[in-house]
Structure 1
Amino acid sequence: MTDFDLQRIDLPTGVTLDVAVEGDPANPAIILLHGFPESHRTWRHIIPELAKTHYVLAPDQRGYARSSKPAEVGEYAPDKIVADLIALADHFKIDRFTLVGHDWGGAIAWMAALTRPDRVARLIILNAPHPFVFQKTLFDDMAQREASQYITAFRNPGLERHVDSIGLSAFFDGSFLKHTDFARIEAEKPVYLDQWSQPGAMTAMLNWYRASQIVVPGMDETPERPAFLDAPFPPITQPTLVIWGMQDKALLPSQLEGLDQLVPDLTVVHVDAGHFVPWEAPEAVVHTIRSWLA
């Protein structure tokens, strides 16, 4: 199992993050953002390879593992987490960087690319939906709406009591076995259980969903459409690579439809993997990133 020496970094945004730092600081910088319910270890197979040619930062984002866990739901709003990203780059004196994100980390990466093009030079997304496409499909694609009902469950304030009642091990089995081959992750299970058992970790991780403004209609609901769906949406200006595990059961291939209209400089690569493509198909991910960056 690949281990990383984590640096504990105090940020002016009020949080302290554990950060895996690898590679030569003289090389181009690349920052990797994990999603739910993981940590920097999402990238355990990716970091050593990218560190051969890049200066790599992979934080445990706020709420995860042993990084800070603010108490208020609002502290997990995307703009707060983008601010962490920029503060982290500032700490390491990194001006412009390639940004890579998976799952929730990808959602933050999309937002950072939109709001901080002065800092994000290139964007790499792994199975994380563009905010406009995701919200649109939640209204117009009933298959994606059905696949996303778990978000409503994760926003339920009673979910932590349920997790406590069944235990973290059972929650792990229920969370991952629906989305991946258990053999791929069995050796990593103790790491997850250790990170999830940190005080306040489960609530903090779930607060990312609770702080999100994404509307997830029920299957029998027809709520008012968000106004931004019927207005021009700003384009992503950076060169962008999207790597998509096509067996993802939570984020369906509809997330790729119309993406080229929102991302003019877009490359999409399909991978035969599920949602957790960074560790389900690391060789394909590394090869694709290297080829695209070159």
Structure 2
Amino acid sequence: MTSLQANRIALPTGVTLNVQTGGTRDGEPIILLHGFPESHRTWRAVAPDLARDHFVVAPDQRGFAGSDKPEGVDAYRTETILADLIALADTLGVDRFTLVGHDWGGAIAWLAALRHPDRIARLVIANSPHPLIFQKSLIEDADQRAASQYIRAFRDPGMERAIAAMGIETFYEKTFGAHTDLTRIPAEERQAYLDQWSAPGALTAMLNWYRASEIVVPAIGEAAGAPAWTLAPFPHLTMPVLVIWGLRDKALLPVQLESLHELVDDLALAATPDAGHFIPWEHPAFVIAAIRDFIAETA
């Protein structure tokens, strides 16, 4: 295992991010993007292993943990967060890189591969749906729509008051308890979550990712048509893509995997029944092996 160090890096997009970096600058760069409601610590068991022979970069994305938390929903538009990623790579002198994303980090990673295919040598997605498949499933698949109602709750302007009323520890238990065995989270990690979420403005910043998203989530039973953009031709990805999936995921159902081959020309899939949504720390050995095999096969 290789140790990594955290530094605050100011970006021309107007935010300063807390970024964990490590490994060898002579190695291929790998950028790791976490999701909600986490931080670079999502990769706590993955990043040190990859850093043995790669240059690893794992930011706290804007609004999370040690990074800036700008006010307002518009500060969390997906295109704005994508700009942070490209600016971070530029600031670190990284041209082409392997991009790995989990959950919301995966949403940014999918978009990065679509918008900047010249920068993304390989794409690795961990339990994060392709935007077209996800939006269609929210309209057409009743089970996925039901599983995604939490998004509507997170967008509610009263969500912060609801969390305050239940207490941050209860929110922690609800957030993770439905998706994983809480005993799998070490005490120090639990405390890190509670400390980060208790910081001024932290909950609002994290929830603003959902509020800024243009994904349409109809209510259960609501009549809803597909957004116009889902009916137009959608670009294919041509770089090698690995999708890692914990099949116990209760928020993102297997329907998210069914049509990927129609949108990704060079697709590899690594799925396991031994993990759920938080696979990077639920089953890090599986994630490390899948990424390493993928890099070796696409070198």
Alignment TM-score > 0.5, same fold: yes
Structure 1 stretches lacking a partner, 5+ long? none
Asked if 2 retains the 8 angstrom alpha-carbon contact of 1:66 and 1:198, the reply is no
TM-score (norm 1): 0.98
Match of 2:237 in 1: 236
TM-score (norm 2): 0.96
Asked if 1 retains the 8 angstrom alpha-carbon contact of 2:250 and 2:277, the reply is yes
Of 181-190 and 146-155, more deviation after overlay is shown by: 181-190
Paired residue type of 2:7: Q
The Cα of 1:3 is off from its aligned counterpart by 7.8
1:131 lines up with 2:135 in the alignment: no
Match of 1:208 in 2: 209
Distance 1:47 1:93 in 2: 19
Match of 2:19 in 1: 19
Paired residue type of 1:280: E
Deviations 1:216-244 (A, max 9, x none): 01112112320122221111121000000
The Cα of 1:167 is off from its aligned counterpart by 1.3
1:88 lines up with 2:88 in the alignment: yes
1:8 lines up with 2:19 in the alignment: no
Match of 2:109 in 1: 109
Report SS of the residue matched to 1:143.
helix
Match of 2:56 in 1: 56
Runs of 4+ aligned residues of structure 1 deviating over 6 Å after TM superposition are none
Deviations 1:36-94 (A, max 9, x none): 00000000000111001110000000000121111010110110011000000011100
Match of 2:161 in 1: 161
Identity %, equivalent residues: 60
After TM superposition, list the pairs within 5 Å mapping 1:1-294 onto structure 2: 4-187=4-187, 188-272=189-273, 273-294=275-296
Distance 1:224 1:210 in 2: 20
Deviations 1:158-215 (A, max 9, x none): 0000111111111001110000001111421000011111110000000000000000
The Cα of 1:121 is off from its aligned counterpart by 1.1
Paired residue type of 1:125: I
Structure 2 stretches lacking a partner, 5+ long? none
Distance 2:91 2:245 in 1: 31
Q: How many residues are aligned here? A: 293
Asked if 1 retains the 8 angstrom alpha-carbon contact of 2:63 and 2:70, the reply is yes
Distance 2:94 2:289 in 1: 25
Paired residue type of 2:282: E
